Amino acid sequence: MTGEGLAGPDTTTGDDSPFWAGAREGRLEFQHCASCGFVRWPAAGVCPECLSRDFAWRPVEPVGTVWSWVVYHRAYSAALRERVPYDVALVELDCGVRLLTRLTGFAGGDDPVGTRVVARFEELGEHGRVPVFAPAEEGTDR
């Protein structure tokens, strides 16, 4: 832990580290069950759908829909201290994963629920590149 308890996610060790490694290279990758194809997030040792222990990490289309949203008035990572307040959303990706993520490119106060969004990758201090989601451009919306 660093920065007065504002360390943010551990992106280099643990089951989810391939997700963060993919993000550093500009990809959204998730653990896919090798048996039934279920996309697991967070990563797990056993598939919650079929109990298989086999999996592979593969990229997904980085698009989805804002499912829920809040405004953070406190920085939960020291790297976000200068960005308060900021929008945080639960984005339902087209692959089925619901990802808690930061939004960018929305006007303050606009309700983004239901908006089609696409991943962008931003440098975030010690965390390196992390995914954030911005409104999808016209023509990329399905």
Contact between 49 and Zn ion (CB under 5 A)? yes
Q: Using the rule CB under 5 A, is 38 a contact of Zn ion? A: yes
Residue 12 or 52 with smaller CB distance to Zn ion: 52
Q: Which amino acid is at 79?
A: A
Alpha-carbon distance 101 to 120, whole Å? Answer: 11
- 52 versus 140: smaller Cβ distance to Zn ion: 52
By CB under 5 A, the count of residues binding Zn ion is 8
Q: Exposed, middle or buried by CB within 10 Å (0-12, 13-18, 19+), for 22? A: buried
Report phi then psi at 36, rounded to 5: -115, -10
CB of 31 to Zn ion, least distance (A): 10
* Contacts with Zn ion, residue ranges (CB under 5 A): 33, 35-36, 38, 47, 49-50, 52
